[in-house]
A = this chain, B = another copy of it.
């Protein structure tokens, strides 16, 4: 009984860290690819990767007045992203890859799903109203990518993609609240919500769903 409880806790803690790590790496990769496409130098690539990975979660922590920040509490994430940048650069230089505009779609979708679900869960734990939890979840996923696009001087994908992006995150975040209402374990709610967001986003991309545009 005691062991099974410990096992559940072990899964809850390590599952959450694993999720966070996958989300961070996915967003960092999307930043690296975007920076490479813009021909930034190596330091610029690392900075854009770090901004994309850490930006959204930091905004979430500021808005929730949550200190220390997740990257101060767990300093290792900083080193993980640093090592990732170095590896990616070595790899990229040896292969002379050319990135199409579509190359960032997968890492971007995975980051979107994990950060939306995780952010909503963290905001819920801070006892904010449901709609605020959902908005903070979406913000923590979207803001890193918005920063990435702003610093490379583009209109952010989250605003102008013409394919469902933020709206998918907004819809999927409610699954975390559903799971919470049904007393699912936190990790399960987050996993279901994250998976639904990634699946929906990539379906939207492959089936080329388009949002209506303002016509003049």
| Residues in A lying within 8 Å of B, measured CB to CB | 35-36, 38-45, 47-48, 58, 62-63, 65, 67-69, 71-72, 75, 78-79, 89, 92-93, 96-98, 128-129, 131-132, 135, 146, 150-156, 158-162, 164-167, 210-216
Contacts and interface: CB of A to CB of B under 8 A. Distances in A.
Number of identical monomers bound together in the oligomeric complex: 3
Contacts of A135: 78
Contacts of A158: 44, 47
B154 A153 contact: yes
Given A132-B72, A151-B150, A155-B153, A212 B42 contact: yes
Contact of A214 (B36, B62, B152, B167): B36
The listed residue with most B CB atoms (<10 A of its CB), out of A35, A44, A62, A152, is A44
A45 B214 contact: yes
A151 B162 contact: no
Contacts of A40: 155, 159-160, 213-214
A119 to B, nearest CB: 15
B47 A166 contact: yes
Given A69-B63, A75-B129, A42 B151 contact: no
Contacts of A97: 216
